[in-house]
Chains A and B, each alone.
Chain A
Amino acid sequence: MSASLIIPTLVSPVVVSLFVPAIFTGLIVGLIGLMAIAYQKNDLSALILTDIVGIGMLILVAAVGTDLAEALILPGLVVELAEILAISEILMSREMKKKGKSAELIPLPLSMDMEVMTTAPTFLAIILIAYGAFLSGFTGGAVAGGGILVYVLSKRMRGVPADTWEGIAGVSGIAWCLWLVGFLLFFVFPQYWLLALFLAAFGIFIKVAFKAGLIGVIGREEFSKK
């Protein structure tokens, strides 16, 4: 057993001495974001500036410097991202209603008609999904989701049935249920913790992957309009 394996009962003095500077950094970052929001006049820049306020929050949580703080950062980050996702869509919807014009969902400066997207989508998707399954967990889900995204976006050339949305959403929902079963198993039958762990880890893999796939379906619908 090496010395590194000794987990101290107290937080190490380095972290304690860094706590006050870290908190002050967080407060200053938060203040910069808040002042900017108080000064600006544009709704879109207010939305982007709230991200800076969110970073201030992450610094305040990280200042505690324990494993628990590291685990608590993830919910904070996800809440921030989720709210940006929903609110930006509302802002778009409001602006479209106000001006009576529609806009592209993903405004790209270049056309998506690249040769790679017609010749190799299946190959790319399989590589990405296999690598994602190997990584597993949240990052694996993101990688595999990228694979599905590429596949769905490029498949529009050959035409995907219109009810792909419902299908992918359904699979995502089933993965969600598997995931919750995994969590419940931890508490109800702790002796099956390994099964619960695998349900939780691969549930989140499938869930994240198919969420990215859903974004791809929306994007494809958008492109096929032209």
Chain B
Amino acid sequence: MSTRQFGARIERNIDPKLLRGEGVFVDDIPLPQPLHAAFVRSPFARARIRSINIAAAERHPGVAAVYTCDNIGDLDVEMPLLIPHSSMKHPHTQRPLARGDVYYVGQCVAMVVAVNRYVAEDAAALIEVDYDPLDVEIDIEKAVEGGAPLVHADAPNNIAAHFVQVSGNPDEAFAKAEHVVKIRVQVERSTAAPMECRAVAARWDEVSQELTVWDGTQAPISLRGGLASILKLDEDKVRVIAPDVGGGFGQKIMMFHPDELLVPMAAMELGRPVKYIEDRRENFIGASQERTQIHYIELAAKKSGEVIGLKDSFLHDTGAFIPYGIAVAQVASTSIAGPYRIPNIWVEFKAVYTPTVQVTPYRGCGRPQACFAIERAMDQLAEKLGIDRFEIRRRNLIGEKEFPYPREGLLFADGLKVTLDSGQYHKALEMILAELGAANFAAAQQQVRAEGKYLGLGLAFYVEGTGLGPYEGGHVRIHPITGKVYVNTGLSCQGQGHDTVFAQIVADQLGVKPQDVIVVEGDTKAFDWGVATFASRAAVVSGNAIHKTATIVREKTIEAAANMLEADAADIDLHDGAAWVKGSNRFVPLAAVATASNPLRYAFNKAAQAATQFAPASRHDGPPLEEGKAPGLEASDYYSPPCATWAYGVHGALVEVDPELCTVKVNKYVCIHDCGNMINPMIVEGQVHGGVAQGLGGALYERLEFEPSGNLANANFVDFLMPYATEIPDIKVMHLETPSPLNPLGVKGVGEAGCIAVGAVVASAVEDALKPLGAGRFHQVPLTPSMIQAALDRAGR
């Protein structure tokens, strides 16, 4: 292959399989006579359990076991606090099965294991739980007031964590300010709603004493460590496999959801495979959620529009538990100044317990909220100063020559200082201005207004710290018989296209087709070391690890081929699946090089004949395998990023608002996007498209409706308005490629990018459209028709 694969728009290796329905998900794993688990879940947001009666369920025909907190042995403990932080004075995590108290509607109280799911659910319905309901407060602003009912008795004012970070001298900046704007913004709670809900199956092998767990997880290696630790098994005796996984979006990075411990435990105890396939309702009421934050953000500015200080104080709803620590709030707080220089920052958050499902990262992880706060504030400042929305941004964006741009005092979610590494922010702004036709838009707006049409333009900038550590690894091996290349890493894939982009990286080093590079991940027996798929990090961390590994294999291959071709290593080139002497027609296929690099005793094919220790070419004085050498063309290596690398972009939209029906139609949506060097622009675009779709969900549709009692009123897709394809406009993606200086490939992450700015863009556009009607400001998403109606009503329209 002389064409570079890195950067090519090639189709995904995995698509034929997935599109033909040949994917294998947890529920597709054939298991001999599996048992099925079902859960009894709390119907109360907060209650004391007086008693649980499982007698009838245990007697029910087909039931193998019924578990409560009383018969799960060592598992009856609070599950791990995954990311401790000093700001959490009263951290709480949940137990696999409730003991004494329940803390949210949907919390697992008992588990039934039976011959099939129908019987398990029938038996679960026979379990009588006597609850003593307690008072609750769902509203986070009220929950932090004195006298509000407490979720956890030891956490005063329901505060799970309180943290302040300061950069520069914000007090001085505000003292010098010529203008100050302060707004309150609110983002509502949503859920990842992956197409495949969570799923886990487990098999215990009595003979080998090995536990195999199939789990649709984003973190198989981390899960193995946790399972081994909690179930008291050698790590080597636990194998975790994440087969094909239908979307994760962060929900599947969280561990443990109770079933992830209880199902393996039951399989071990009952000596039969056990599986649990979460249904949609359970995913709504039992799996991690995110997004509710209320920010009070203030900008201190000069008359020129230069922002010299920022203060932000926000409440972050963490649900009833905080197993993932302050990650979401910390990401929000460190992203709060966006792409702007703003040298003086004071940012404070309180993570608030509410009697609802726990909050852990969901695609975006605090960034959409931070972006909504800063971008809405910038619009407000522009209006106050009478400066165009593009211009105020132009005056504050970090310049291309100012990178790396550190924010002293702010620590990102990896515990390292926030340092924006590179970008062309001004260029991105000019691109979107041109693409939206912003210069002529006011005239167009004016023109159609006479016909009763209300057009609006919105824009929002975002930055995204991506590619967090600690590290990932790669293993690359050229197969001796086929010459195909096998690649492993410690991640799992939920549809992102790892197998294709990693193949492209390797293909360039080894001169093979990407289709001949087989990537195997999501199996702890395939690769032993690593962390997980999260934080837009796969391409950055595993990508660079695999790249480094592939260069080692390339060197080995060239050295071996040079020997075989009796040429100088400098004269060897790898392409078309072979090693060539440059400028000649002399070559040896990679399969032959791989075979020859492995001294054999048996000649099983023609290439092998030349590789046996008896072959003439093998005869020399030393041992067949030289001291210090390893057989084969194979290597492992690792990459550990020095800190996060910062992707960014700017989104803009042209919308039409119908003031009679209060509907918003997105006529044009544009993303200018920069994730450094792109491995596969088509996959980048897919990520951005998907992210924008998810972002539009958060901007216009999706809101989990918790009743004051804590019951989730819309735990289904009829009432939880995840947008359909019919609600998503055409999305135009335009790329910039500013290489990251931080890693060999110059890449930045893209997984979460698309969703971050959408809420701010839509609110900005709707506000712009309805300005002539005096509808005022839109500082809350999702922005619903009823909210537009109320605004127009207030304006007397």
A and B: bona fide binding partners: no
Interface residues of A (CB under 8 A from B): none
Interface residues of B (CB under 8 A from A): none
